[in-house]
Structure 1
């Protein structure tokens, strides 16, 4: 029995500067808090001079509130002008009883911002610490060691444009460099902890290599070097649910799933039709993986069969295609959606969508500074399908495998955020995944059979 998957836009926000990273807060009292980072290259009077260029950014803080269909749910709380931001990550556990946001910047710094209460009973971010990774480099990524909500040893791993990986320790609210080494020949696009053994670190670079490092052995040589990706490795995420499971993505448009015990051969390979810039495991469901695919939108993957050793590609459960530029940042929220309140069917950003219904399908004419397109949001199965293109590559089967009810709930509704680069847009949307009622399916089939007999 096929499941029904539907994605629906809730609100679009113009970030003015190019948007490349979004993160929902993972701390229970703040599940509805969203941070978004931007990156803009500003050229000086001499357009041909590299020295005249500067990289500026802005950090946005939002609160999501369900106020009914007549009100936009996203409320801007704060904006902070910063150096260009290349990555954002909330620490998975409170630090000094408050949520803590880490930020990788074009000035080569890792900055820490604490979420604090404001005078208007809301909340704001305040800078508490920063550490420069080195001169003449951009901090490209960061990850916290707290992916399994372990607060015993809070550390940060970061990668930079000089090909280096740095491990930082957090003590008394301040960052201290523990170690730094040259890991890749070119830009080290991504670094990440193994959440099950935080002495293990992974890195990926523009030299097309995926590497593992054991901090107990020192960084003199990697524990492994994989050339399985054919282009630059730009996304790595350790599963917080299943020990030794790792997901990686690359400019080669492939998502690979790995068992850390065998890094010679991946468990599965899934072609997504666009460079995979970010991967995020679902906060609670071990089988779901979110992919930001640069030139091919955002996709939700179901990885159950691949994780069970079938060797098959992950199925695409749902896609969000309403961005009109490079798909860079994406994240799941843990915030519970109110099923009794229908989502708003219109949103009013500075440059936003005008919506209407045609032939039973929601259609959007989306206008942006770069281009416009007209797309049919949903097909009969609830998937977004562009009129002018084919669906993203997936496994040979058109429908995802039916999940085991003991492992997956009969339905799921998720709040999502994604952002795109050149059109500087932040989208907040929901994804609903439901199993059709067996009685309804049976009646429909019975009706079809009677109709055929009548003919």
Structure 2
């Protein structure tokens, strides 16, 4: 049986400053909340340009409310924007703190800042800076990760910075305190991450092309392993929260590697994705699905089941999202449930929807100046809308032997957010994966 894989844009938002990180809130009650962070290097005179401190790096934190149901389009509403130091990374804590969501932010001022999501006022949520901790002078905080990926009650944060150091911080009732800090890499430490299955284990990657592991019980005097399997800077690491020992790493060398944490000498799998892998995100509930933001080569969803089972073959790409026009930096899965019916286009009545990446049509963008957002639709060469029910087989069907991502169901629909840098754009889109319908297979599709 063939499977149909489709991506479709729901909304595009202009962040004005360069966008590099997006994060959906993982807590069920607040899963409609989306945060986006930006980074902008201000241009000044020559004296200012020579100064590499955080003073000339500005940012903005956006907060959005999302309602992806067909009855409300476009689905995204901006609820808050806060001017901040440039933001390098955003992560929500996976568990509520004092019954509220907590958003962590790594900034160019060398700080980790924690924002509490406030009670809704006039129907929208706000953010309040709760705590902050300095990592040290003359450095940029480049990444952060929470220890709470599997509901860990001992809440800690690990951060990496531009000096090559890692810092582990402990969250108390009214404090964010550095527990330990050490020099981990010779150049920028682009990424740091906890093992969600053993949160005394920390992983890091740096511009020295090294992937390292650290056991906090043994102290950070030396790594538990050092891998040079990546041939360029290591900039993305994510522990699989559903499958013990499985780790995904990405690098400027344009490869995604899967690892078994019990044997870090040789990866389980290597997949070339055609662009530097800035961020990797495992699906919130499907253990085999991995989202990759590939800088110069868009966004891709990888199916990793066979690799996890020990088969030495690249992970197949189930879907690609190619509508950004700049560096693909931030990407995340939403936990919001979606109906199986594809919502209509923002500019069309309900009976005609548009599939955007499924054809060679032209993306049509309409600007809404008050909100700096865009609605999108697809049109053909004559300017006519391309309806969703039109057969466009060249990119719709994922050829067998791709298995279903969901073992016990016949289809999957996911809401996504992604952002790109120099064009300062954030996109909200959906991915649908389902068995091919009979009417769509009545005519033979051209071979791929």
* TM-score (norm. length: structure 1): 0.86
> C-alpha deviations, 1:106-140, integer Å up to 9, x for none?
00000000001143132111000000000000000
Q: Is residue 415–residue 429 contact of structure 2 (8 Å, CA) maintained in 1?
A: yes
Q: Which segment drifts farther, 349-358 or 25-34? A: 349-358
TM-aligned CA distance change 1:281 to 1:400, over 3 Å: farther
Partner of 1:193: 194
The question of whether the paired residues in 1 share the 8 Å contact of 2:2 and 2:399 is answered with no
Deviation, structure 1 residue 2: 2.4
Residue in structure 2 matching 1:94, options 93, 96, 100: 96
SS at match of 1:243: coil
Counterparts in 2 of 1:261 and 1:121: CA distance versus 1, 3 Å: same
**Structure 1 position 242 matched with structure 2 position 256:** no
Q: Does the 8 Å contact 2:5/2:434 carry over to 1?
A: yes
Say whether residues 1:436 and 2:439 are aligned partners: no
**Pairing of 1:195-210 with structure 2 (within 5 A):** 195-210=196-211
CA contact (8 A) 1:110 1:133 kept: yes
Q: Quick check: 1:283 aligned with 2:284?
A: yes
- Corresponding position: 1:326 with 2:334: no
Unaligned runs of 5+ in 1: 365-376, 384-396, 449-455
Displacement, 1:340? 4.8
Distance in 1 (alpha carbons) for counterparts of 2:376 and 2:145: 38
Once structures 1 and 2 are overlaid, which stretch shifts more, 414-423 or 71-80? 71-80
Match of 2:379 in 1: 357
Q: Distance in 1 between matches of 2:392 and 2:246?
A: 32
Counterpart Cα distance in 2 of 1:82 and 1:7 = 33
Corresponding position: 1:168 with 2:169: yes
Q: Helix, strand or coil: the match of 1:305?
A: helix
Q: How does 1:170-319 map to 2 (within 5 A)?
A: 170-319=171-320
2:109 matched to which residue of 1?
107
Distance 1:67 1:334, change over 3 A: closer
Q: Note if contact 1:258-1:267 (Cα within 8 Å) is conserved in structure 2.
A: yes
Do 1:163 and 1:182's aligned partners in 2 also have CA atoms closer than 8 Å? yes
SS at match of 1:117: coil
* Match of residue 121 from structure 1: 123
User: 1:122/1:400 Cα in 2 relative to 1: closer, same or farther (>3 Å)?
Assistant: farther
Give the drift of 1:174: 1.8
Aligned residue for 1:49, secondary structure, equals helix
Which residue does 1:80 correspond to in 2?
82
Q: CA deviation at 1:36?
A: 0.0
Q: Does 1:418 align with 2:418?
A: yes
What's the CA shift string for 1:202-233, capped at 9, x where partnerless? 00000000000000000000000000000000
Distance in 2, Cα, partners of 1:198 & 1:46: 45
Judging changes above 3 Å, is the alpha-carbon distance between structure 1 residues 171 and 362 closer, same or farther for their aligned structure 2 residues? farther
The match for 2:144 is 142
Counterpart-to-counterpart distance in 2, 1:363 and 1:45: 48
Task: Give the corresponding residue for 2:9.
Answer: 9
Partner of 1:54: 56
Render the CA deviation track for 1:337-359: whole Å, top value 9, x for unaligned: 13456242446444746634338
2:114 & 2:18 partners in 1: Cα distance? 22
Where 2:91 maps in the other structure, the secondary structure is: strand
Q: Could you tell me how far apart the structure 2 residues matched to 1:31 and 1:404 are?
A: 22
Q: Take 2:427 and 2:87, find their aligned partners in 1: how far apart are those partners?
A: 18
In the alignment, structure 2 segments of 5+ residues that lack a partner are 348-364
In 2 relative to 1, CA 382–444 (structure 1 residues): closer, same or farther, beyond 3 Å? closer
What is the rounded CA distance, in whole Å, between the counterparts of 1:334 and 1:49 in structure 2?
42
Q: Give the distance between the partners of 1:344 and 1:200, measured in 2 at CA.
A: 46
Return the alpha-carbon distance in structure 2 between the equivalents of residues 238 and 101 of structure 1.
19
Q: C-alpha separation between the residues in 2 aligned to 1:363 and 1:139?
A: 45
TM-score normalised over the length of structure 2: 0.88
Q: Look up the SS of the partner of 1:241 in the other structure.
A: coil
Give the SS at the match of 1:134: coil
Q: Contact (CA 8 Å) 1:315, 1:399: kept in 2 or not?
A: no
Aligned-pair distance for 1:72?
A: 1.3
Give the RMSD, CA atoms, in angstroms.
2.5
Contact 2:167-2:180 within 8 A present in 1 as well:
yes
Give the CA deviation at 1:51: 1.6
C-alpha separation in 2, matches of 1:424 and 1:362: 28
- Contact 2:288 2:405 (8 Å CA) reproduced: no
In 2, are the aligned partners of 1:361 and 1:378 still within 8 Å (CA)? Answer: no
